[in-house]
Amino acid sequence: MAGVKRVLVTGASGFLGRACVAALRARGFTVHGTGRGPQTIPEIVWHQADLLTEAGRAQVIAASRPSHLVHLAWEARPGLYRDSPDNPAWAAASLDLAARAAASGTVRLLGIGTCFEYGPFDGNCVEATSPCFPETAYGKAKLAASAGFAAVPGGAWGRVFFPFGPGEPAARLIPALIRSLLAGEAFPCSHGEQIRDFIYIDDLAAAITTLLDSDLTGMVNLGSGEPRRLRDIIGWFSHKLNSEHLVHFGARAVTGADAAPTITADMSRLHAELGFTAPIGWTLGAERTLAWWRRKFEEAQP
Amino acid sequence: MAGVKRVLVTGASGFLGRACVAALRARGFTVHGTGRGPQTIPEIVWHQADLLTEAGRAQVIAASRPSHLVHLAWEARPGLYRDSPDNPAWAAASLDLAARAAASGTVRLLGIGTCFEYGPFDGNCVEATSPCFPETAYGKAKLAASAGFAAVPGGAWGRVFFPFGPGEPAARLIPALIRSLLAGEAFPCSHGEQIRDFIYIDDLAAAITTLLDSDLTGMVNLGSGEPRRLRDIIGWFSHKLNSEHLVHFGARAVTGADAAPTITADMSRLHAELGFTAPIGWTLGAERTLAWWRRKFEEAQP
């Protein structure tokens, strides 16, 4: 895309939002961010707004006049987001935001969804052929938003698999594991035989930036393309922390999508069509993540 | 569903809307209707509003406070709707309307979509398993709305196949055929080997009313369950009008979804799960349709 590149990032202060802001700035974008709270990222132009209201959406688009949009904002709190009654409202707001942005001259619109739009899961997820019959309110509403973004000229939709890295919400698997082990506490977990696609947060932000700055439209998986067993991921961290004895595989039952044997990403679109290669990768990403939590843990000691 | 049944029908003055209003009234619903124009259906409470605006949606929901919603309104003009740039805005408005209705106490929400949400077409369309990768802006936007309705508690989404009957827009296949033959004009058409599911408009309205008045959620095909060759449908009308010589099969090329060999509806959900049986059926429906156009034609003669 030629000309001025001014991107509006919704949900910019979140786990993925912050990583995207850094990657977009590094690629030369002028970055505007929006969120419900006051500005916490000093390097960008901030618009405080509630995107669940029409007034909020209109104000943010009018104030930022973006050539590019990265739409991350959604209900995403661990434990709440899957069944939140706000999911349909976020789908509606997302479609309206996309329509408004397109009408005001935004040429490139990238919404961010989830692998949980797929299902029932039967192995590797492929954008053009895998079934999309999600079970959760979150999956259904994200699927609605995905189809809406795909219907807008210049619209693309990224489906994020399992991101991890510094700043990840503490209740999720890898942070919960590291925090337990650093504290010397037992970590009861599932059997761990599930195969998943984990992607380091800065690699994900790089993928999003590459996708945004391309002409690719429609659905695009955002993973690493490297399937891993949960048991191996958990084992990697517990080995680094000499804490294998604290991990109890099989101590927790799994239900719903957590029980699906395999949720992995076919990455042909990003890797083959766009030539994207992740700059960090699993091992360095895991080391940085561990170092970050170790530092947090040490800072918290009296 | 117990208690007061007050239904809001959007797009109530359209081809399907009018049939639905009659069927809903016959089933005992108090009917509120809305459309962009002034009231043309005297038997119902009318709310003139532009549903593409938030103010219009808020006003209609507040004024009607429906227990039930049948959402038909969309860009539907023949020749325009498939690629209209308004499609994404209709998807956004539909999701917002559903979220607003649910928030204001509507317990049952039925959005009306299309078989063109399916694709690529590979035969009989089954809600739970057929691929939904539509090609047109219309199909993509309707698919977005379908997922949005499915994400709302009490939400269902009907996928209409090929409706026909009195009052159908004159540019569509059956009206165009009948009008040509009544005028003694040639009717060039495609090879006619395509298999489609046609449903008489009053049967469709009865199906919608039955579905609305049930607890069935998610996607529900709305067809007859009776596959027919276009050649046989065209042949039926031309035989009745002694005009087989005016029909020229193969004189027109077909493209896009019109070229799909088969677009038919698996009707298990409506027929088996709800026990629905169409009250009119193909033959009587076709006779009524022919009689209606014949009357229109005779009235127009000097």
Q: What is the pTM of this model?
A: 0.92
What CA–CA distance (Å, rounded) separates A62 from A79? 34
Nearest C-alpha in A relative to B58: A54
| Nearest CB partner across the interface for B151, out of A93, A131, A137 | A137
Q: Does the beta carbon of A259 lie under 8 angstroms from any beta carbon of chain B? A: no
pLDDT at residue B5 in the model: 95
What's the token pair of residue B255?
């493209």
B95, A144: Cβ pair inside 8 Å?
Answer: yes
Query: What's the pLDDT tens digit per position in B238-286?
Result: 999 999 999 999 999 998 889 999 999 999 999 999 999 999 999 999 9
Contacts of A133 in chain B (CB under 8 A): 128-129
- In this predicted structure, the answer to whether residue A232 has a pLDDT above a threshold of 50 is yes
DSSP code at position A67: S
Q: Is A98 on the interface with B (CB under 8 A)?
A: yes
Q: Tens digit of pLDDT for each residue in B9-61? A: 999 999 999 999 999 999 999 999 999 999 999 999 999 999 999 999 999 99
- How far CA A8 is from CA of A11, A63, A70, A75, A154, in Å, comes to 10, 10, 6, 18, 15
> Which residue in B129, B131, B140 is closest to A147 by CB distance?
B140
* Average confidence (pLDDT) over B283-300: 96
pLDDT category of residue A257 using cuts at 50, 70 and 90: confident
Residue pLDDT, tens place only, B193-213:
999 999 999 999 999 999 999
Residues facing residue B69 across a β-bridge: B8, B109
Give the three-class secondary structure for A46.
strand
Average pLDDT value for residue range B164-175: 96
Distance CA B254, CA B276 (A): 34
Residue A150 contacts B, CB cutoff 8 Å: yes
Return the C-alpha torsion angle A110, A115, A118, A124, nearest 10. Answer: 120
By three-state DSSP, how is residue A248 classified? strand
Cα angle, residue B203 at apex, residues B110 and B262 outer, rounded to 5°: 85
Measured between CA atoms, the residue of chain B closest to residue A148 is B144
Q: Do A140 and B147 touch (CB under 8 A)?
A: yes
The distance of A283 to chain B (nearest Cα, Å) reads: 36
> B96 at the A interface (CB within 8 A)?
yes
Q: Which tokens in the block code for residue B268?
A: 């298990």
- State how far the Cα of B220 lies from the Cα of A235, in Å rounded to an integer: 46
Q: What is the mean pLDDT of residues A182-186?
A: 97
**Stretch B113-123: mean pLDDT:** 94
Per CB-CB distance under 8 Å, the chain B contacts of A91 are 95, 99, 147-148, 151
Contacts of A204 (CB under 8 A, 6+ apart): A16, A19, A160, A163, A222
CA distance A300 to chain B (A): 42
Number of H helices, E strands in chain A: 9, 14
DSSP string, A106-174: --EEEEEEEGGGSBS--EEE-TTTS-B---SHHHHHHHHHHHHHHTSTTEEEEEE-EEE-TT--TTSHH
Chain B partners of A101 at a C-beta cutoff of 8 Å? none
- Examine the pLDDT at B1 and tell me if it is beyond 60: no
Q: What percent of chain B has pLDDT over 70?
A: 99
Phi and psi at residue A198, to the nearest 5°? -95, 140
Distance CA B91, CA B148 (A): 9
Residue B102 touches chain A, beta carbons under 8 Å: yes
Give the SS3 label for residue A237. Answer: helix
As for the ipTM of the complex, it is 0.87
**Whole-number pLDDT of residue A84:** 92
Output the CATH code of domain A6-166+198-226+265-281.
3.40.50.720
Per-domain residue ranges of chain A: 6-166+198-226+265-281
pLDDT > 90 fraction of chain A, expressed in percent and rounded: 92
pLDDT score, position A53: 93
For the record, the structure tokens of B223 come out as: 């067809």
Q: Do B144 and A140 touch (CB under 8 A)?
A: no
For chains A and B, what is the number of CB pairs under 8 angstroms? 93
- Position B161 scores a pLDDT of 98
Indicate the Cα dihedral angle A127, A133, A135, A136, nearest 10°.
50
Instruction: Please give the Cα distance from B124 to B262 (Å, whole number).
Output: 7
CB B146, CB B90: distance < 8 Å: no
A95 contact B CB<8A: yes
CA-based nearest distance B204→chain A, Å: 25
Mean pLDDT of chain B: 95
Any CB–CB contact under 8 A between B75 and chain A? Answer: no
pLDDT at residue A1, rounded to an integer: 45
Q: Is A146 on the interface with B (CB under 8 A)?
A: yes
CB-based contact, B51 to chain A, within 8 Å: no
Residue of B nearest to A82 (CA): B151
User: What's the pLDDT score for residue B3?
Assistant: 67
- In this predicted model, what pLDDT tens digit does every residue of A81-132 receive, in sequence order? 999 999 999 999 999 999 999 999 999 999 999 999 999 998 899 999 999 9
Structure confidence at residue A300 (pLDDT): 87
Average pLDDT on A70-82 reads 92
Contacts of B147 in chain A (CB under 8 A): 91, 140-141, 143-144, 146-147
Contact state of A95 with B98 under an 8 Å Cβ cutoff: no
Query: Does the beta carbon of B156 lie under 8 angstroms from any beta carbon of chain A?
Result: no
| For range B177-185, the mean pLDDT | 97
pLDDT tens-digit map of A48-64: 999 999 999 999 999 99
Averaged pLDDT score across all residues of chain A: 95
Tokens describing residue B80: 């325009």
- In A, residues 52-71, which contact B (CB 8 Å cutoff)? 54
pLDDT interval class at A79 (50, 70, 90) = confident
Q: Are strands B218-222 and B162-164 parallel, antiparallel or unpaired?
A: unpaired
d(CA A221, CA A208): 10
pLDDT band at A77 (very low <50, low <70, confident <90, very high): confident
With contact defined as beta carbons under 8 Å apart, do A47 and A33 qualify? yes
Predicted confidence at residue B26, as pLDDT, reads 96
CATH superfamily assigned to domain B6-166+198-225+267-276: NAD(P)-binding Rossmann-like Domain (3.40.50.720)
Once rounded to an integer, what is the mean pLDDT over residues B215-243? 98
CA dist., res. A52 & res. A207, Å (int)? 27
Q: What value does the mean pLDDT take over residues A153-157?
A: 96
Q: B152 touching A, CB under 8 A?
A: yes
